[in-house]
Amino acid sequence: VDADSFGLSLDIADAVAATKDGGLCIVTSTGAAAAGARGEASQKAMLARLGTTVCSGCFAQNELGLRALLGRTAAAAANAGDAILPIYATYDAHGPVFRVAARIIRKRPGVLGKNTYNQARKLFFSAYCYFFKCGHCSHFTPIQAHELGTAHCIDCGHDGAGEIAGPMWTGQLH
């Protein structure tokens, strides 16, 4: 299933549901407001459409946009009891265009089997989390939900102010 919309008006859950077991779900988002989150209005749109936030003034804004889009795809699959395996993620400045593809693995044994499903579910629970951006050195650290409010930088050791991005996909993009 190749779901492409202007901005992000489509329901990603519908695209995931329409994809057969073992099939590819490709989700495309055009427009910075949908995934790049540059500026306050864009960040509000991203929160409303993808259920996530990103750090302001971040050097990796485009990558975070891809991770947010892939994270929303993973969450839509997880809400249905299914899982994903990321295949690719790409960004093109012309538009801008954010595009991710993931293999859908259904809970019921199917094309890819139960072992693949269990591995994909385990991957989701380890990779769908948050990023903490250190207020001191700007290093990004992936953190789980239970670490919110107690995060510290693993690079410089700074405990204190920083920004949180997420929830989003923090694992491999392809």
pLDDT, tens digit, 9 for 90 and up, residues 136-146: 888 888 899 88
- Give all strands (DSSP E) within 82-135, no chain letters: 83-92, 97-105, 128-134
- Tens of pLDDT, residue by residue over 58-115, are 667 788 888 988 999 999 999 999 999 999 999 988 878 889 999 999 887 665 667 7
For residue 4, pLDDT over 90 is answered with no
Determine the Cα–Cα distance for residues 117 and 17; give it in Å rounded to an integer: 16
Q: Which two tokens stand for residue 160?
A: 């204190």
Determine the Cα–Cα distance for residues 2 and 171; give it in Å rounded to an integer: 22
- Tens of pLDDT, residue by residue over 17-70, are 999 999 999 998 876 555 555 667 777 777 877 888 877 666 677 888 889 889
User: 128: Cβ–Cβ under 8 A, 6 or more apart, which residues?
Assistant: 71, 74, 75, 78, 167, 168, 169, 170
pLDDT of amino acid 86: 96
Beta bridge partners of 84: 104
pLDDT of amino acid 51: 81
DSSP state, residue 145: G
Determine the Cα–Cα distance for residues 85 and 67; give it in Å rounded to an integer: 13
For residue 149, pLDDT over 90 is answered with no
SS3 87: strand
For residue 3, pLDDT over 70 is answered with yes
Q: Which two tokens stand for residue 156?
A: 């410089």
